[in-house]
Amino acid sequence: MGKKKKLLRFAENETFPNLFQWPSVPETPDMAMKGQWGASYFKNAAPLVLELGCGKGDYTVGLAQLDPTRNYVGVDIKGARLWRGCRNALERGLPNVAFARIQVEFIEKMFAPDEVSEIWVTFPDPQPNKARKRLTSPMFLARYARILRAGGLVHLKTDDYDLYDYTLNEVVRPAGYEIVASTADLYREEAPGFELARAVQTYYEGIWLAAGKTIKYIAFRLNGEGKPNS
Ligand SMILES: C[S@@+](CC[C@H](N)C(=O)[O-])C[C@H]1O[C@@H](n2cnc3c(N)ncnc32)[C@H](O)[C@@H]1O
């Protein structure tokens, strides 16, 4: 995307009522919306679901349409991609959708302990050489556990076998988290619990499917304190 188009999108982002931006500078105070998403923005006490690394927010908008009884916030650092999600949600008149521009590293600046019910991580960068930067590394999961309610689910969809294998066998199993669903081939294997993972296809998912790749999926339950479930 050209620089001019990006700047136009950044300018329009400032006008969107459904976008909240935090500058990803550690010294910046927490967002005023932290702990207040239900009361101040959505005006209800429905469960809050996040999509991390949401890009254009396909899961955020898709799940919000499928299930109006929950609130959805898509999180990404790239403003030009979030612009698309914001526009889609506004054009569809979805009151249960918002977006947050922030690095996931600072997610606790945006959401309070126990404020979130569920997290989707959709086609994150696999970071083959930097395990610490993977959005399913133990350091990231500890952050998620601090904002997730007890028993909250984390879902990962990826085209990358190494990221799936790492998450399943180096993170989730050693920590003892309860595995709710897992498959290395989402669209060919049959098992309960795959419905939502099949219900929405993201922009990147479309690219990988067209290239003949299989989609991997895992859903697991963190407890409320970032410690293994007993
Ligand atoms: C490969 S894209 C996937 C986008 C979308 N989920 C999809 O499936 O089409 C990865 C996205 O994660 C975002 N991302 C990667 N690391 C991030 C981080 N630490 N904090 C916030 N966003 C991040 C990128 O900006 C990018 O939009």
Residue whose CB lies within 8 A of the most ligand 1 atoms, among 60, 76, 119, for a mutation test: 76
Helix (H, G, I), strand (E, B) or coil at 100: strand
Distance 163 CA to ligand 1 centre (A): 14
Domains of the chain, each with CATH number or no CATH:
43-221 (3.40.50.150)
Q: Any bridge partners for residue 87, and if so which? A: none
Ligand 1: atom nearest CA of 133 is 19
- Give me the pLDDT at residue 226, please: 46
Sign of the CA dihedral with 94 first, then 98, 99, and 105 last: negative
Q: Are 19 and 13 in contact (CB under 8 A)?
A: yes
Known catalytic residue: 165? no
Among the listed residues 157, 132, 154, the one whose alpha carbon sits nearest the alpha carbon of residue 144: 154
Quote the ligand 1 centre to 102 CA distance (angstroms). 11
Closest CA to 143 of 175, 100, 177, 112: 112
What angle do helix axes 58-66 and 79-91 make, rounded to 10 degrees?
20
Task: Please give the chain's pLDDT, 230 residues, in tens.
Answer: 899 999 999 999 999 999 999 988 889 999 999 999 999 999 999 999 999 999 999 999 999 999 999 999 999 999 999 999 999 999 999 999 999 999 999 999 999 999 999 999 999 999 999 999 999 999 999 999 999 999 999 999 999 999 999 999 999 999 999 999 999 999 999 988 899 999 999 999 999 999 999 999 999 998 744 444 44
Tokens, residue 55: 């890009």
The bridge status of strand 178-183 relative to strand 216-221 is antiparallel
Q: What is the pTM of this model?
A: 0.96
Provide the 8-state DSSP code for 169: I
pLDDT at 6: 93
Which pLDDT belongs to residue 230? 41
